[in-house]
């Protein structure tokens, strides 16, 4: 199996440093999406193998709102996301903006996991980013609902990562 990122870890780190120094520190923004693409080929690929991978995703990725597989006859797209953009139920509209990424490692001890998690939760940048995306969701919600509130900052957790999440409700 061959998998590789489109840019190296060092190049990605430089992209982030440039955004911080040239954009964020100059007041041009506070949150930027900086993608890094992972692509690969699976040896002896077949639809059966894709379904096996998908089954493992379903069995092992807990907490995801949406797990998906799309096959167009040539390409397979597999993934999972914690983000549920908009839900309407019994006259209540709910949005769940997310931000930040807390990476879990296999070598965490209970103490190191707790320390790193608290550092993540206390990080001003992470909190500010959550408030910024929540503000954007509140603006959208106010366009469709006369009564809107934001509550419940929480940590959503999957097998490999955790993200900060806010609940935005409208009626």
At 108, list the tokens: 């965490």
Strand-pair partners of 89:
92
Strand-pair partners of 88:
93
Residue 28's pLDDT is 75
Taking the CA atoms of residue 83, residue 144, residue 32 and residue 76 in that order, the dihedral angle to the nearest 10 degrees is: 40
pLDDT digits (tens, 9 = 90+) for 29-56: 666 778 888 888 888 889 999 999 999 9
The pTM of the full predicted model, rounded to 2 decimals, is 0.59
Strand-pair partners of 76:
71
Phi, psi of 73 (to 5 degrees): 95, -20
How far is Cα 158 from Cα 171, in angstroms, rounded to an integer? 30
Residue 30's pLDDT is 63
How far is Cα 162 from Cα 62, in angstroms, rounded to an integer? 11
Strand-pair partners of 99:
164
Taking a C-beta distance cutoff of 8 angstroms, is the pair 30, 100 a contact?
no
At 67, list the tokens: 């797990």
Taking a C-beta distance cutoff of 8 angstroms, is the pair 141, 93 a contact?
yes
**In this structure, what DSSP letter does residue 31 have?**
-
How far is Cα 152 from Cα 169, in angstroms, rounded to an integer? 10
pLDDT digits (tens, 9 = 90+) for 17-32: 898 888 888 777 666 7
């Amino acid at each position: 199996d061959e998998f590789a990122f489109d840019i190296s870890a060092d190049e990605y780190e430089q992209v982030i440093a440039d955004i911080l120094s040239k954009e964020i520190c100059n007041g041009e923004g506070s949150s930027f999406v900086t993608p890094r693409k992972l692509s690969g080929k699976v040896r002896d690929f077949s639809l059966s193998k894709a379904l096996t991978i998908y089954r493992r995703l379903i069995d092992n990725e807990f907490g995801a709102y949406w797990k998906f597989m799309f096959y167009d006859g040539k390409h397979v797209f597999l993934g999972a996301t914690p983000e549920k953009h908009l839900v309407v139920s019994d006259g209540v509209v709910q949005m769940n903006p997310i931000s930040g990424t807390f990476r879990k490692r296999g070598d965490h001890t209970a103490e190191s996991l707790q320390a790193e998690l608290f550092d993540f939760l206390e990080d001003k940048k992470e909190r500010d980013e959550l408030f910024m995306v929540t503000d954007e969701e509140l603006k959208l919600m106010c366009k469709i609902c006369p009564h809107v509130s934001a509550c419940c900052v929480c940590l959503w957790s999957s097998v490999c990562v955790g993200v900060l999440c806010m609940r935005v409700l409208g009626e």
